[in-house]
Amino acid sequence: MNQFKSIFLGTIGKTEDMAQLKRAVDTQKCIRAGGKHNDLDDVGKDSYHHTFFEMLGNWSFGDYFKKDAIAWSWELLTKVYGLDPNRLYVTYFEGHPETGLEPDFEAKQLWIDAGVPEDHIIPGNMKDNFWEMGDQGPCGPCSEIHYDKVGGRNAAHLVNMDDPLVVEVWNNVFIQFDRQADKSLKPLPAKHVDTGMGFERLVSALQDKSSNYATDIFTPLFEKIKEVTGARQYTDKYGKDDVDGIDTAYRVVADHIRLLSFAIADGAAPNNVGRGYVVRRVLRRGARYARKYFQTEIGSFFSRILPALVEQMGEQFPELVKKQDDIKEILDEEEVAFAITLDRGEKQFEKYAAAAIKAGEAKLSGADVWRLYDTFGFPEDLTKLMAEERSLTIDEAEVAQAREKAREASKAVKEAVQTFPKLTVHHIAELDKLGFARTDSEPKYLKGDL
């Protein structure tokens, strides 16, 4: 919704083309692998979160509002798409007295008017039913629509319970406030609608599949992975049912190639900050899954899956076709770079994990997590995942402490170099190892001798 923000806030210039816009429909390329919306840790494990997905949307800019949005979304799902109304559940905002927000009984009534039985209408809290993009900006109460994959029962109690068979498919947001820096809510000059429907989730409902990964969105990618790795067939098993972990690896690789390709096609490149680090983290996570579960060599793995994605989505998203060579080059380069440390890093991890387990620890120390990052390029989420496989946790605060300590040390080294121009970083590191005295503000390596 970023590109529409100035319309919502009423700050758009009257001469701008978009100022004339009253309504829009679109499919948005969505990435949720960092920041406020981060689903990376779920990917591979559950059947309905991806790092990259298509979000179908309809928008009203000061035009239609709650009444029409609700009636039309019900009509679209039940009449046009033909989903069974008995399997659909809707939610409305229950209010938040602490901040003076009223319950959205208007939405509740409008759902009743649209024909939804009352026992399929559920109140929801601030977290689920008040949509905010970030800490500031346009926001408002929302009504979500959930679909029961089982049917023949009342599944109202399973809504918002992270049940893989009762899944949120669509969110209707009624944008009417602007969250200020001081956290207060300012009413917007006009009321707007911003909805988001997960394409992959909708398809799994329409194709009557229990999982997004069992739809024909993922089949071509799985076939390609099978061809490239020689792995067994994908069987859509989860958790403990996925005994050899192969299905999980299939899901991770298929999900990650989508994120990687679309992000790179849109100009992101792997590096250590911001969106570049999202690309790097996701590639490294995927590469490790591929090596561990498919025993593939890392170096040009993802680029061999890429043609299947380009063939599948290139028509709707021509940037994939246009940028295919760049995507391949960047993926290969990044994979080769990681391949150098992946093996040694895994061995080092095993040592740390074995030591922690032997010492009766339930977690990997922050210093170990940091060293795996600093020396071997293991993103924290990857180490966390590997730790989980050993039933160990990691403590984010401890990792942050280790990171801070390392930052201070490197700052001190830099200062030392400035103070003593002839001293190389290598010398200082050696001196550090020998335990020579040094303060951060005034490096004192045997002053005079250097």
How far apart are CB 450 and ligand ATP at their closest, in Å?
55
Could you say which residues in the range 152-211 bind ligand ATP, by CB under 6 A?
Answer: 168-171, 196-198, 200-201
* Total residues binding ligand ATP (CB under 6 A): 15
Dihedral class, residue 299 (left if φ above 0, else alpha if ψ from -120 to 50, else beta): left
How far apart are CB 172 and ligand ATP at their closest, in Å?
9
How far apart are CB 26 and ligand ATP at their closest, in Å?
13
CA distance 344 to 342: 6
State yes or no: residue 172 binds Mg ion (CB under 5 A): no
- 136: Cβ contacts below 8 Å, ≥ 6 apart: 178, 179, 180, 181
State yes or no: residue 32 binds ligand ATP (CB under 6 A): yes
Of the two residues 257 and 298, which places its CB atom closer to ligand ATP in the complex?
A: 257
Q: What are the structure tokens assigned to 49, written together? A: 């979160």
Strand partners, 168: 146
In the bound state, the residue with its beta carbon closest to ligand ATP is 198
From residue 16, alpha-carbon distances to 4, 11, 12, 153 in Å are 12, 11, 7, 51
Q: Identify what 143 binds: Mg ion, ligand ATP, none; CB under 5 to 8 Å per kind.
A: none
CA distance 6 to 258: 30
Among 47, 143, 171, 176, binds Mg ion (CB under 5 A): 171
How far apart are CB 24 and ligand ATP at their closest, in Å?
16
- 393: Cβ contacts below 8 Å, ≥ 6 apart: 362, 363, 364, 384, 387
State yes or no: residue 49 binds ligand ATP (CB under 6 A): yes
Q: Identify what 53 binds: ligand ATP, Mg ion, none; CB under 5 to 8 Å per kind.
A: ligand ATP
Q: Identify what 89 binds: Mg ion, ligand ATP, none; CB under 5 to 8 Å per kind.
A: none
Query: Segment contacting Mg ion (CB under 5 A): 65-73, 143-151, 213-221, 283-291?
Result: 143-151
Of the two residues 168 and 334, which places its CB atom closer to ligand ATP in the complex?
A: 168
Closest CA to 392 of 356, 367, 368: 356
User: What three-state secondary structure class fits 342?
Assistant: helix
Closest CA to 174 of 90, 62, 85, 88: 62
Sign of CA dihedral 272, 274, 279, 284: positive
Of the two residues 78 and 171, which places its CB atom closer to Mg ion in the complex?
A: 171
Of the two residues 199 and 373, which places its CB atom closer to ligand ATP in the complex?
A: 199
Of the two residues 32 and 120, which places its CB atom closer to ligand ATP in the complex?
A: 32
The DSSP code sequence of 386-420 is: HHHHTT-EE-HHHHHHHHHHHHHHHHHHHHHHHHS
CA distance 231 to 249: 10
Of the two residues 195 and 229, which places its CB atom closer to ligand ATP in the complex?
A: 195
CA distance 354 to 125: 43
Of the two residues 159 and 356, which places its CB atom closer to ligand ATP in the complex?
A: 159
Of the two residues 40 and 290, which places its CB atom closer to ligand ATP in the complex?
A: 40
Query: Segment contacting Mg ion (CB under 5 A): 141-149, 405-413, 415-423, 431-439?
Result: 141-149
CA distance 248 to 320: 26
Residues that bind Mg ion in the complex, under the rule CB under 5 A: 144, 168, 171
Residues that bind ligand ATP in the complex, under the rule CB under 6 A: 32, 39, 49-50, 53, 55, 168-171, 196-198, 200-201
